[in-house]
């Protein structure tokens, strides 16, 4: 199609002299002491999906060209190298230019290398690359795009490395290369000679950069790709050895915390007792920064005491007058009009508006970073999904050249969109500069909920017209508090563009909405439009394990159920009739069969079914929910119990599942997230601040909300290309839960999560850190 | 500065810290024991779950002055030694079921699971779904289902 670019063609050299007809890929030998092979990143396939049907809807932008493609395309123009190094101990090393925040990308990349290099996976060492400004767009972790963007370049480099090892061995033995082969890290000759990769690593090294073409393994020969692989970092995780930013032992980087404003984006007017607080036990430094008052001390416990002892007068923030109700009014005012006129003689309409509360993307590891800023340089350690933009922003803030700032990407304790922003790293750099000392900055949990990023409140209005036995039009108007996209596509140029007046919406929100959203059904005339209100930085917003998809999908699928009912059709049968594409139909049929759709259930229990397409994948979910009083009213201390999803069945087709076990894990996360979004977890915005301040206020799914019966079906390969998976599961699970809840309760819910109208906790005080409990021993079990 | 002593992962340790410093900060900031994670400091998220005299507790919510010299504190780092093996059966079950995603909560999850299984047995039964529902540890990656599978499997080898 037209979107294919010259750069991409250069990466995909047509047929090779051997005439096999298979596509060759280009990589490079890099001059180094041992064998180092590089390949360009950013050569994703841009194949359109087919659309066919009843009253065919024109393909929407997402179906042809999605957000991942945009990321890939952005990468093409500037792409440079990723490199695999062979070591003399027989291992291979690869510094992955992505963040690992729990989704298993390091394991998956190790699989790709193991496959093409023919090396046991335990000999593949994956680290996270430092910020590499030369990579520009190619160092952003998000949009479920890591697998898609790494799949071909990593395999190319690994395949060339294997060939070079064979060439080195053949030269050493004086035999033709065609007579040697590899087996699990060893090169063998026909006469039985063997050489380990380690023994060949130096001999195979290049003395100058050389371009090499290589063919990749055909899928039929895969022995690692497509096979379940346990996480390569699992042993570290279960022994406590896995190292996160706050576990690093950077010399003299003492614990540091910040006293924050009583409202979002409030600033310090004055502090009455800086000297007195600095004299407190263990405290070394106290100072005003742009986001509050920073305190550095020997222990975090002493920092908490000092933070709370500060006597601060605050300036107001920009949204002090805003609460859920005032924001809802502004969203209503910003909603774009529907355009299909009602045609009362022939058609009927279903028309409703769904409201989705603010939600927190707070991971379990709070915002944190280590910073060591000197007069002439700065060094940062943090979980950064956009490390290049972080380096550039910090350099600008500190007045240092970009080359004087280094950023080490540390394994993250979750992200869910949070680490697209480098808030903690930027703040830590400011504090370290101010104090002239290294700092280990950690946000308190309460601040992380209140001043950290939220997924913004939104509404989704849907009107469907139908008549004469068919659906004629589908219109959706999604209206949201503006999502901050100022992380751009990974570096400063697009990040700056997003900060220009209207740049965040016109340049990003609108485009990203169009590139990520589509209706999977043939509903005649389809329009989906977005409008946003409030400045991008009025609240602290950001993506949260998807951007718009869960809310849009919930609204779509609830309306689909209602239209099906009006047209006298079973929800499954209706979906089968109107679905556009075969892959989605296949996953729908799979969950219906495995989940026994339509089985008899007691009153108060019901099934729900939903589908979603995104990231070049198709997914369907069937859930069962128990809304009977005995379940809803079960008691757990300081908890929201409520309805319980008792069963979840997910069928997922990602095109090519590289690691089915990891994919299943991502679906399990999607199930926990989807349940939370519909039943329990939200942020209440009140007078310019989220009221939530602890995990017993923000009711993310807990064990007592977890289904006891979960089945994830990973569909066999369909497209041969891996799609995205990290975010894919959330939307259809949320939608299926919402549909099941509506059916079980015989209601038409329009506000989510369903418990948002009831504040189930007593809010913690503003601005101060809640006191550390002292009664822990009394809860021992 | 007051001196405090207790047994940590089999060794007697002594620290000079204020009486009211919570044990989590003694472990992490003073002794450099990084297995117990900070997730809230409010005895809510349970990421720092460790054992005191074999029972699960949260060091974020205990003052060092409330720890007696004879108390035995075990963190994830010391769990394998309690069974004299390279890994505790619960840790092995976590590997078998590939539970961890980001891994941040998992040391606390494992410590809580071991205690929960023992608590059930002390009450005369094997661990049930109702017992598992009582585990309060947050996993924001949403690994709860595999945790349930792993706890049941790990219990059989304990």
Residue of A nearest to B29 (CA): A299
Last-in-domain residue among A416, A442, A468: A442
- What is the 8-class DSSP label of residue A705? G
One domain, residues A400 and A472:
no
8 Å CB contact between A692 and A755: no
- Residue A309 domain-assigned (yes or no): yes
Per-residue pLDDT of chain B (158 residues; tens, 9 = 90+): 899 999 999 999 999 999 999 999 999 999 999 999 999 999 999 999 999 999 999 999 999 999 999 999 999 999 999 999 999 999 999 999 999 999 999 999 999 999 999 999 999 999 999 999 999 999 999 999 999 999 999 999 99
* Segment (H or E) for A743: helix A730-745
Is pLDDT above 70 for A63?
A: no
CATH code assigned at A413: 3.30.365.10
Three-class SS of A570-624: CHHHHHHHHECCHHHHHHHHHHHHHCCCCCCCCCCEEEEEEEEEECCEEEEEEEE
- What does pTM read for this prediction? 0.93
Is pLDDT above 70 for A378?
A: yes
3-state secondary structure of A482: coil
Architecture (CATH level 2) of domain B81-156: Orthogonal Bundle (1.10)
Tens of pLDDT, residues A80-132: 678 899 999 999 999 998 999 999 999 999 999 999 999 999 999 999 998 88
**CB atoms A246 and B104 under 8 Å:** no
**CB atoms B45 and A414 under 8 Å:** no
Domain that holds residue A408: 245-318+367-442
Task: Give chain A's mean pLDDT.
Answer: 90
Mark which residues 40-59 of B lie under 8 Å from A by CB: 40-45, 47, 52, 55-59
Residue of A nearest to B139 (CA): A364
**CB atoms A701 and B144 under 8 Å:** yes
For chain A, say whether B154 makes contact (Cβ under 8 Å). no
Q: What's the structural domain count of chain A?
A: 3
**CB atoms A636 and B133 under 8 Å:** yes
One domain, residues A176 and A291:
no
Is pLDDT above 90 for A36?
A: no
One domain, residues A496 and A398:
no
**CB atoms B40 and A234 under 8 Å:** no
ipTM over 0.85? The verdict is: yes
DSSP characters over A312-381: EEEE--TTTT--HHHHHHHHHHHPPPP-SPP-TTT-EEEEEEEEE-BEE---SSPSEEEEEE-SS-EEEE
Residues contacting A221, CB < 8 A, separation 6+: none
Distance CA A736, CA A232 (A): 33
One domain, residues A157 and A261:
no
Residue ranges of chain B that CATH labels 1.10.150.120: 81-156
Nearest neighbour of B32 by CB, restricted to A249, A298, A300:
A249
- Please give the pLDDT value at position A58: 56
End-to-end CA distance of chain A: 63
- Please give the pLDDT value at position A78: 37
Nearest neighbour of B29 by CB, restricted to A230, A255, A707:
A255
Q: How is the beta sheet containing B55-57 ordered, strand by strand?
A: B11-16, B3-8, B72-74, B50-52, B55-57
One domain, residues A538 and A606:
yes
**E-strand stretches of A104-152:** 124-128
- Please give the pLDDT value at position A72: 59
What are the φ and ψ backbone dihedral angles of A464, each rounded to 5 degrees? -115, 130
One domain, residues A667 and A578:
yes
- Residue A758 domain-assigned (yes or no): no
**CB atoms A773 and B29 under 8 Å:** no
**CB atoms B44 and A694 under 8 Å:** yes
Residue of B nearest to A228 (CA): B98
One domain, residues A346 and A375:
no
3-state secondary structure of B110: helix
- Please give the pLDDT value at position A131: 87
- Please give the pLDDT value at position A209: 79
Q: Which residue has the higher pLDDT, A355 or A49?
A: A355
The residue behind tokens 């990602």 is A654
Query: Peptide bond preceding A753: is omega within 30 degrees of 0, i.e. cis?
Result: yes
Mark which residues 54-83 of B lie under 8 Å from A by CB: 55-63, 66, 75-77, 80
Is pLDDT above 70 for A423?
A: yes
One domain, residues A355 and A371:
no
Degrees to nearest 5, angle at CA A203 with A197 and A209: 105
Tell me which chain A residues have a C-beta less than 8 angstroms from the C-beta of B63. 774
**CATH fold label, B3-76:** Ubiquitin-like (UB roll) (3.10.20)
**CB atoms A445 and B41 under 8 Å:** yes
- Please give the pLDDT value at position A556: 97
Distance CA B103, CA A247 (A): 13
8 Å CB contact between A676 and A349: no
Nearest neighbour of A694 by CB, restricted to B38, B40, B107:
B40
- Residue A770 domain-assigned (yes or no): no
Distance from CA of A284 to the nearest CA of B (A): 15
Choose from A100, A308, A772, A778 for mutation: most chain B CBs within 10 A: A772
- Residue A387 domain-assigned (yes or no): yes
3-state secondary structure of A668: helix
A755 Cα distance to chain centroid:
26
Is pLDDT above 50 for A749?
A: yes
Helices (H) and strands (E) in chain B, counts: 5, 5
Residue ranges of chain B that CATH labels 3.10.20.30: 3-76
For chain A, say whether B149 makes contact (Cβ under 8 Å). no
- Residue A59 domain-assigned (yes or no): yes
Residue of B nearest to A764 (CA): B42
């Amino acid at each position: 199609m037209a979107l294919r670019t010259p750069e991409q063609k250069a990466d995909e050299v047509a047929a090779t002299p051997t005439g096999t007809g298979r596509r060759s890929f280009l990589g490079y030998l890099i001059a180094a002491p041992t064998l180092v092979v590089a390949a360009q990143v950013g050569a994703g396939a841009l194949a359109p999906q087919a659309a066919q049907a009843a009253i065919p809807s024109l393909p929407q932008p997402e179906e042809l060209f999605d957000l991942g493609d945009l990321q890939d395309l952005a990468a093409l123009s500037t792409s440079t190298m990723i490199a695999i190094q062979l070591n003399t101990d027989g291992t291979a090393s690869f510094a992955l230019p992505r963040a690992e925040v729990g989704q298993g990308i390091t394991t998956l990349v190790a699989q790709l290398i193991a496959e093409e290099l023919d090396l046991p996976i335990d000999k593949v060492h994956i680290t996270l690359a430092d910020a590499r400004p030369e990579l520009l767009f190619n160092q952003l972790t998000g949009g479920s795009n890591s697998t898609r963007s790494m799949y071909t370049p990593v395999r190319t480099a690994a395949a060339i490395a294997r060939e070079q090892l064979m060439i080195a061995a053949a030269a050493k033995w004086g035999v033709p290369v065609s007579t040697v082969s590899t087996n699990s890290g060893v090169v063998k000759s026909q006469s039985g000679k063997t050489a380990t990769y380690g023994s060949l690593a130096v001999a195979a090294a290049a003395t100058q950069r050389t371009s090499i073409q290589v063919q990749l393994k055909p899928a039929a020969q895969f022995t690692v790709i497509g096979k379940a692989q346990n996480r390569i970092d699992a042993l570290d995780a279960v022994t406590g050895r896995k190292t996160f930013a706050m576990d690093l032992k950077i010399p003299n980087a003492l614990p540091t915390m910040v006293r924050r404003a009583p409202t979002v984006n409030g600033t310090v007017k004055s502090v009455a007792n800086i000297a007195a607080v600095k004299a407190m036990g263990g405290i070394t430094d106290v100072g005003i920064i742009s986001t509050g008052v920073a305190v550095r001390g020997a222990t975090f416990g002493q920092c908490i005491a000092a933070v709370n002892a500060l006597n601060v007068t605050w300036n107001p923030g920009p949204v002090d007058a805003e609460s859920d109700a005032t924001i809802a009014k502004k969203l209503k005012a910003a909603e774009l009009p529907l355009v299909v006129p009602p045609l009362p003689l022939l058609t009927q309409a279903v028309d409703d508006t769904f409201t989705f509360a603010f939600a927190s993307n707070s991971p379990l590891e709070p915002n944190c970073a280590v910073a060591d800023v000197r007069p002439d340089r700065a060094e940062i350690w943090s979980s950064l999904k956009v490390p290049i933009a972080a380096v550039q922003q910090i350099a600008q803030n500190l007045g240092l050249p970009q080359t004087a700032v280094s950023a080490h990407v540390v394994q993250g304790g979750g992200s869910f969109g949070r680490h697209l922003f480098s808030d903690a790293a930027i703040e830590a750099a400011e504090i370290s500069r101010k104090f002239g000392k290294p700092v280990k900055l950690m946000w308190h949990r309460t601040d992380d909920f209140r001043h950290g990023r939220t997924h913004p409140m939104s509404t989704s209005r849907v009107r469907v017209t139908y008549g004469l036995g068919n659906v004629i039009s589908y219109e959706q108007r999604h209206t949201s508090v503006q999502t901050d996209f100022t992380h751009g596509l990974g570096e400063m140029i697009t990040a700056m563009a997003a900060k220009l007046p209207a740049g965040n919406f016109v340049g990003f929100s609108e485009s990203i909405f169009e590139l990520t959203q589509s209706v999977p059904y043939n509903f005649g005339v389809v329009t989906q439009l977005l409008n946003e209100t409030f400045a991008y930085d009025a609240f602290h917003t950001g993506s949260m394990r998807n951007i718009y998809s869960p809310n849009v999908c919930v609204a779509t699928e609830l309306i689909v159920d209602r239209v099906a009912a009006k047209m006298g059709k079973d929800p499954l049968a209706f979906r089968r009739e109107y679905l556009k594409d075969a892959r989605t139909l296949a996953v729908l049929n799979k969950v219906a069969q495995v989940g026994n759709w339509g089985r008899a259930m007691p009153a108060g229990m019901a099934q729900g079914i939903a589908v979603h397409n995104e990231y070049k994948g198709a997914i369907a979910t069937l859930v069962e929910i128990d809304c009977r009083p005995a379940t809803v009213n079960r008691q757990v201390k300081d908890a929201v119990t409520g309805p319980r999803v008792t069963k979840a069945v997910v069928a997922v087709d990602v095109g090519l599942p590289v690691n089915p076990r990891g994919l299943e894990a991502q679906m399990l996360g999607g199930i926990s997230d989807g349940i939370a979004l519909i039943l329990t977890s939200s942020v209440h915005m009140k007078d310019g601040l989220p009221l939530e301040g602890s995990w017993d206020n923000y009711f993310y799914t807990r064990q007592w909300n977890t289904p006891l019966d979960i089945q994830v079906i990973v569909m066999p390969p369909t497209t041969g290309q891996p799609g995205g998976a990290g975010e894919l599961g959330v939307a259809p699970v949320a939608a299926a839960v919402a549909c099941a809840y509506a059916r079980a309760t015989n209601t038409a819910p329009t506000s989510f999560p369903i418990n948002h109208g009831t504040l189930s906790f007593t809010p913690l005080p503003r601005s101060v850190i809640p006191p550390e409990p002292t009664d822990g021993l009394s809860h021992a079990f | 500065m007051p001196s405090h002593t207790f047994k940590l992962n089999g060794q007697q340790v002594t620290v000079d810290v204020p009486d009211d410093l919570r044990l989590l900060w003694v472990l992490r900031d003073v002794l450099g024991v990084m297995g117990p994670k900070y997730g809230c400091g409010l005895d809510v998220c349970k990421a720092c779950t460790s054992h005191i005299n074999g029972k699960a507790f949260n060091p974020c919510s205990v003052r060092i002055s409330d720890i007696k010299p004879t108390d035995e504190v075990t963190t994830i780092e010391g769990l394998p030694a309690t069974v004299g093996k390279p890994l505790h059966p619960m840790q092995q079950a976590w590997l078998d079921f590939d539970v961890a995603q980001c891994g941040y909560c998992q040391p606390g999850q494992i410590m809580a699971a071991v205690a929960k299984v023992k608590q059930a047995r002390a009450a005369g039964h094997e661990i049930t779904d109702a017992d598992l529902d009582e585990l309060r540890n947050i996993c924001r990656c949403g690994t709860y289902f595999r945790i349930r599978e792993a706890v049941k499997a790990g219990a059989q080898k304990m």
